[in-house]
Amino acid sequence: MIKPVGSDELKPRFVYDTTEHEKLSAEAESLPSVIISSQAAGNAVMLGGGYFTPLEGFMNVADAMGAAENMTLTDGTFFPVPILCLLEDVSAIQGASRIALRDPNVEGNPVLAVMDVENIEEVSDAQMRTMTQKVYRTEDMEHPGVAAFNSQGRMAVSGPIQVLNFSYFIEEFPDTFRTAVEIRNEIKEHGWKKIVAFQTRNPMHLAHEELCHMAMERTGADGLVIHMLLGKLKPGDIPAPVRDAAIRKMVELYFPPNSVMVTGYGFDMLYAGPREAVLHAYFRQNMGATHFIIGRDHAGVGDYYGAFDAQTIFHEEVPKGALDIEIFEADHTAWSKKLNKVVMMREAPDHSKEDFVLLSGTKVREMLGQGIAPPKEFSRPEVAQILIEYYQGLEKQA
């Protein structure tokens, strides 16, 4: 099986030993504590599940700047984005060597993790601007990722953490949320050697489904891991439970039995385009995937990134040898009226735009809201029905 990034084995920060877990939980209640941001909570969940191996906790400012500027920490470790715990107010933990990090996303703010504090540093405006520009390629506060990153505060608390729970993800998504440890174990149980990973924050239409079939066929993969983001999205995105139901229905009806794992991870979307694509590849290698699909405008939002920037970054900016996972570079896929099947647009050079079935997201949402299923060349009818029920429910609420 493919090795984790920069390590021979996964290094999950979750405390699995029950005796140690109970002891740490009791200790945590007596420690100075602070409620962290949603983005930091997502980082803690990913650290807990082994996705960010070999990181042991939150970065200090020097490491965060290194990750932002050249994807390398001060000790030479490769990591594509800053993993920070930024706070507005550190008065409750000032001078403490050990603290409890409380969950902002669960009622009562239970302890999510315990940190051994190594540094509490103020991030300068210049450093925030540099990190923002390098990771998001813009400082525009209309960009949802830029706004979320810059709204957390300027005090960076760093140090290794021990994770006590996985926030709301296990309770709300018991059939879908999986740690990198669990996914690796399941891949072993299946006996898969080549595994394609597909990232999504949306339901999958016919083009996405066919892209996964293409990738599996062309790489000779034994299995597919559909790995969906379960954390916070921007307003207007389809909520995770609806997405989950739609994807499961598609897999049940249109993929061979035991060829697909439908899973999810607990992290807030960054919408950082190319840099987030590298992070996505990073933690897919850690969960055991050998190949990762990156298509048009991967992890993008608005018009901030070029259509294929998320592919070219692997050739132009990622240090050579940093990742073992292979990138399956995909073009926009759509139904060809000429060929009567879904194709990658670049593989149909004799086609014009009119030869494809193309619908805008706005048009699809309008149709679904009116109870009209998109054409079968665009979406499976069973998937469309789940989305129609969701959108019509929104219409009723309005």
Summarised one tens digit per residue, pLDDT across range 222-270 is: 999 999 999 887 777 788 889 999 999 999 999 999 999 999 999 999 9
Strands (E) located in the chain: 33-35, 57-58, 86-87, 98-102, 111-116, 119-122, 155-163, 195-200, 223-229, 260-265, 291-294, 326-329, 333-336, 341-344, 356-357
pLDDT in tens, 87-126: 999 999 999 999 999 999 999 999 999 999 999 999 999 9
| Domain covering 18-170: architecture | Roll (3.10)
pLDDT of residue 398: 60
3 state DSSP class of 371:
coil
Spatial separation of the C-alpha atoms in residues 22 and 29, rounded to whole Å: 11
- Residue 227 backbone zone (phi > 0: left; psi -120 to 50: alpha; other: beta): beta
Strands 333-336 and 356-357: antiparallel
Residue 201 bears catalytic tag = yes
pLDDT of residue 396: 73
Spatial separation of the C-alpha atoms in residues 240 and 242, rounded to whole Å: 6
- The residue ranges of every structural domain in the chain are 18-170, 178-397
Contact criterion met (CB below 8 Å) for 142 and 80: no
Q: Can you give the length of the chain in residues?
A: 398
Which listed residue (201, 248, 296, 365) is catalytic? 201
Q: Which of 255, 244, 301, 241 is nearest to 277 (CA)?
A: 301
Calculate the CA 124 to chain-centre distance.
28
Which listed residue (119, 202, 296, 365) is catalytic? 202
Q: Which of 338, 374, 341, 347 is nearest to 359 (CA)?
A: 374
Identity of the residue numbered 291? H
pLDDT of residue 239: 84
Residue 218 bears catalytic tag = no
Assigned CATH topology for domain 178-397: Rossmann fold (3.40.50)
Query: Which residues, given as ranges, of the chain have pLDDT below 50?
Result: none
- Residue tagged 């191996």 (tokens): 53
